[in-house]
Amino acid sequence: MVPIGRYSTLTVVSITDFGVYLDGQEHGKILLPGNSVPRGTEIGHELEVFVYFDSEERIIATTSHPRGEVGDFVLLRCTATTEVGSFVDWGLARELFVPFREQKVRLVPGEWYVVRIYVDDRTGRLAGSTKLQQFLDKSPDAFEPNQEVSLLILYRMDLGYVALVDQRYQGMLYHTDVFRPLRKGDRCRGWIRNIRDDGKIDLALQPRGVLAIDEGAEQILTYLREHGGSMELTDQSPPEDIRDAFGMSKKQFKRALGSLFRQEKITMSWAKVTLLPPKP
């Protein structure tokens, strides 16, 4: 089965002046236009393509890469609003349609929104939605405290940032656990802080305990290697400078420095931290 709105590896079955036809299985032959055909393509070759609908509602393929596929949550810019809905730029010639019924707030051209790409059950066409809650799992039973997860920042509120967790769940990053600037649509690593009794997830941008020290120590080592083996950021530096450089609190920074010092990987003074050469 060749899914619409996803990548597939399809076989070239014929070549024409305007492109090649691919074996679309239950969809029949699918056109890959000439401007998307890799040089040297021949009958029998297999090509990885993205399958979608063109402006005339025909199934078509492209070797271009859209910003997301069916099931993905992605940050997209609204380009236009019509009488029936809005359009967002997802990286293909035909823009993605977002019906009014699937808009949490009315989309404004030029603004950016987190959109979930889906297949409309009624029409079978690709569409987008900013009503994200309907696509989320409300039972995050598989997570454990301090587990690493992937985050997509959805929006900011008074308590902190609401984030999408592993493309399936929703969680909260409190301001007290955020030590670097975040914006809607940012993707980053996160850690499970706590799963509440009501199923809500508390998140953090840094792990806890020994894992946090190890993560921080590796960040510092990378920074030193990239800056000639020394830096003027020390345990006496202002918290703001540490946060801007490493995205961690001063407490976490001092613990990581202490760990590196005990391992004899750095030397420290009040004004400088210096990377030591590896032991023979």
* pLDDT per residue as tens digits for the range 118-162: 999 888 899 999 999 999 988 877 788 888 899 999 999 999 999
Residue the block writes with tokens 């950016």:
112
**C-alpha–C-alpha distance, residues 100 and 107, integer Å:** 9
Residue the block writes with tokens 């989320």:
136
* Class (C level, CATH) for 73-133: mainly beta
pLDDT above 60: residue 210? no
In this prediction, residue 280 carries a pLDDT of 65
Sheet holding 112-119, edge to edge: 96-99, 85-89, 73-81, 112-119, 126-129
Residue 240 banded pLDDT, cuts 50, 70, 90: confident
| 216/69: higher pLDDT | 69
In this prediction, residue 238 carries a pLDDT of 87
Identical topology for domains 7-62 and 73-133:
yes
* CA 104, chain centre distance (Å): 21
In this prediction, residue 67 carries a pLDDT of 95
pLDDT above 80: residue 96? yes
What average pLDDT does range 33-52 have in this prediction?
Answer: 92
Q: What is the CATH number of domain 209-275?
A: 1.10.10.10
| 106/239: higher pLDDT | 106
- Reported as a single tens digit per residue, the pLDDT across 155-193 is 999 999 999 999 999 999 998 888 788 999 999 989 998
- 148-204 CATH fold: OB fold (Dihydrolipoamide Acetyltransferase, E2P) (2.40.50)
| 42/78: higher pLDDT | 78
**C-alpha–C-alpha distance, residues 15 and 279, integer Å:** 62
**C-alpha–C-alpha distance, residues 49 and 32, integer Å:** 8
Q: What is the largest CA-CA distance in the chain?
A: 72
Backbone dihedral region for residue 91 (phi beyond 0: left; psi -120 to 50: alpha; all else: beta): left
Look at 30-34, 127-131, 202-206 and tell me which has the smallest mean pLDDT: 202-206
In this prediction, residue 196 carries a pLDDT of 83
Q: Kind and range of the H or E element at 97?
A: strand 96-99
| 57/90: higher pLDDT | 90
Residue 213 banded pLDDT, cuts 50, 70, 90: low
Q: Is residue 157 helix, strand or coil?
A: coil
Residues 6+ apart with CB under 8 A from 179: 205, 206, 243, 246, 247, 248, 249
pLDDT above 90: residue 49? yes
In this prediction, residue 272 carries a pLDDT of 86
In this prediction, residue 214 carries a pLDDT of 78
In this prediction, residue 275 carries a pLDDT of 86
Residues 7-62: name the CATH superfamily: Nucleic acid-binding proteins (2.40.50.140)
Sorted by where each begins, the domain ranges of the chain are 7-62, 73-133, 148-204, 209-275
In this prediction, residue 211 carries a pLDDT of 61
**C-alpha–C-alpha distance, residues 238 and 243, integer Å:** 9
Across the chain, what does the average pLDDT equal?
Answer: 89
In this prediction, residue 82 carries a pLDDT of 94
